[in-house]
């Protein structure tokens, strides 16, 4: 286009306004691209499946305070009651809840010994109903049998000889082929052998921010502990109805304990990712307001420059310029400014990302996102200038003949 050079020279005569707009666009782009990147990153984290049947499960804390009690008998009674209740699919006692933030971790190592490398994993103590209650998908090997389940006394340091682990954990132990983990023996607590008898597709650890969140192991233990969780799975759609019933049944069956913190797994997930959600909402608001402010800035400055040039525009019109040509002038002008802006903005976005990567351990940004930012801001610029440009196009040719 021939007039591009003309527009550029006209811009150079009044640089400051254009520079300010370009800088605004650049900063907006740097922030926008990085914010969107962080939002996507968090969304991806939140999307990871926990491996559990989240819609139909809940749990509660059972705290025994009476002094003379028989842990083993009481647990068996409770579990029998729960499992027989209509509407309940299955129930277990467990030491920790996925994504809840609190739990237990242990490491497995290929060889026994103090100075051998070990890989950490979340540890869940369950019985043979564990897989069914949580709704896990056993993809290789077998479940625990009733004979595998041991009682774990308080402070006990020995471990049962069998375990079921997640696919992600198996893949970490056997990077070549996770399936070969079945039947292999590893060492827990540095020296105690433990054989992998099964692999489940997924089961997340209690800590969502941990890089090993997909590594979990099931251990066939029932705990003689004054405080533990009961994890319960209901028939589809019956969870909310069953929760108060179960709470009442348990509380009334034994007065020497407290049943508290009855919570759905869905709520636990929500709570677990509450910060993620909040940050995402704030970032979204920031991006939206920022884009709005920048476009208002474009509108404001364009209107002023048009007002200042009313007479010149009128003259051009009088000399035969069409409305479209006037509009095009301002749109091309904005396009030139925006191009400079997004160019600086791309550098800024990468710079900001590098700083975020080094300060907050984020991952580097993708090229597509920068491209998206460029296109988005060019479009925003064009849309913002549309209204002032239309206003300019409506200036009558007769204006040229007026003095003021």
Partner 1 sequence: MFNYYLKIAWISILRHWGLSLLMICAIGLGIGAAMTTITVNYLMSADPIPHKSKQLYYVQLDSWDVNDPFDEGLNPPDQLTFTDTTNLLNAQKAFRQNAQAQANGVIEPNDPELLPMSVSGRANTADFFTMFDVPFIYGSGWTHQADVNKEQVIVLNKVTNDKLFGGEDSVGQTIKLDGNVFKIVGVIDQWQPKPRFYDITTGAFNDSEDIFVPFSMIAEQKIGRSGNTNCWKPSGDGFSAFLVSECIWTQFWVELKTQQDKEEYLTFLNAYVEEQKAYGRFLRPMDNRLSNVMQWLENQEVVADDAKMMMAMSFMFLIVCLLNTVGLLLAKFLGKAPEIGLRQALGASRATLFSQYIIESACIGLAGGLLGLVLAYLGLIGVESLYGDYMQGLATLDSTMMILALVLALISSIVSGIYPTWRACNIQPAQQLKSQ
Element of type H or E holding 125: strand 118-126
**Nearest distance from residue 178's CB to partner 1, in Å?**
25
Q: Which is nearer to partner 1, 117 or 368 (CB)?
A: 117
Write the CB contacts of 305 (distance below 8 Å, at least 6 apart in sequence).
14, 17
Write the CB contacts of 315 (distance below 8 Å, at least 6 apart in sequence).
400
**Nearest distance from residue 157's CB to partner 1, in Å?**
5
For residue 121, give both structure tokens.
């994993």
User: Are the C-beta atoms of residues 378 and 345 closer than 8 Å to each other?
Assistant: no
**Nearest distance from residue 361's CB to partner 1, in Å?**
8
Q: Which is nearer to partner 1, 278 or 396 (CB)?
A: 278
**Nearest distance from residue 50's CB to partner 1, in Å?**
20
- Burial profile 266-287: b = 16 or more Cβ within 10 angstroms, e = fewer: eebbeebbeebeeebeebeeeb
**Nearest distance from residue 60's CB to partner 1, in Å?**
12
Q: Which is nearer to partner 1, 41 or 201 (CB)?
A: 41
Which residue ranges make up the site for partner 1 (CB under 8 A)?
16-17, 20-21, 23-24, 27-28, 30-31, 35, 38, 63, 65-67, 114-115, 153-158, 189-191, 226-227, 258, 260, 271, 274-275, 277-279, 281-283, 286, 289-290, 293-294, 296-297, 300-301, 304-305, 307-308, 352, 356, 359-360, 404
Q: What is the spatial distance between Cα 23 and Cα 325, in angstroms, rounded to a whole number?
A: 27
Q: Which is nearer to partner 1, 28 or 133 (CB)?
A: 28
Q: Which is nearer to partner 1, 179 or 226 (CB)?
A: 226
User: Are the C-beta atoms of residues 33 and 349 closer than 8 Å to each other?
Assistant: yes
Q: Which is nearer to partner 1, 4 or 158 (CB)?
A: 158
**Nearest distance from residue 131's CB to partner 1, in Å?**
28
- Of 162, 224, 235, nearest to 199 (Cα)? 162
């Amino acid at each position: 286009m021939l007039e591009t050079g003309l527009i550029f020279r006209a811009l150079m005569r009044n640089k400051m306004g254009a520079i300010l707009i370009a800088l605004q666009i650049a900063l907006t782009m740097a922030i926008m691209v990085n914010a969107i990147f962080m939002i996507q990153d968090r969304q991806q984290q939140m999307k990871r499946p926990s491996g559990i049947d989240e819609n139909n499960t809940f749990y509660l804390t059972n705290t025994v305070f009476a002094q003379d009690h028989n842990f083993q008998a009481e647990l068996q009674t409770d579990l029998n009651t729960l499992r027989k209740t209509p509407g309940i699919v299955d129930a277990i006692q467990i030491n920790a809840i996925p994504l809840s933030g609190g739990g237990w971790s242990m490491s497995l190592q290929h060889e026994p010994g103090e100075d051998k490398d070990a890989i950490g994993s979340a540890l869940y103590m369950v019985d043979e109903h564990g897989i069914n209650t949580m709704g896990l998908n056993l993809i290789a090997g077998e479940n625990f049998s009733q004979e595998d389940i041991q009682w774990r006394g308080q402070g006990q340091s020995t471990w049962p000889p069998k375990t079921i682990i997640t696919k992600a954990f198996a893949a970490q132990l056997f990077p070549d082929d996770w399936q070969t983990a079945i039947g292999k023996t590893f060492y827990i607590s540095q020296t105690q052998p433990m054989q992998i008898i099964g692999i489940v597709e997924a089961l997340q650890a209690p800590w969502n921010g941990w890089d090993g969140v997909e590594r979990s192991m099931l251990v066939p233990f029932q705990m003689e502990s004054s405080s533990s969780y009961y994890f319960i799975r209901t028939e589809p759609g019956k969870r909310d109805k069953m929760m108060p019933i179960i709470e009442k049944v348990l509380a009334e069956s034994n007065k020497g304990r407290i049943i508290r913190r009855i919570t759905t797994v869905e709520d636990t997930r929500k709570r677990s990712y509450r910060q993620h959600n909040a940050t995402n909402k704030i970032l979204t608001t920031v991006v939206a307001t920022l884009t709005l402010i920048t476009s208002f800035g474009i509108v404001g400055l364009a209107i002023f420059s048009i007002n200042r040039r009313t007479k010149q525009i009128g003259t051009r019109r009088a000399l035969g310029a069409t409305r479209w040509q006037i509009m095009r002038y301002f749109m091309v002008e904005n396009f030139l400014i925006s191009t400079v802006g997004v160019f600086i903005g791309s550098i800024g976005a990468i710079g900001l990302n590098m700083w975020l990567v080094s300060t907050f351990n984020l991952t580097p940004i993708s090229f597509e996102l920068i491209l998206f930012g460029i296109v988005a801001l060019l479009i925003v610029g064009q849309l913002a200038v549309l209204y002032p440009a239309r206003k300019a196009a409506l200036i009558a040719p007769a204006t040229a003949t007026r003095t003021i």
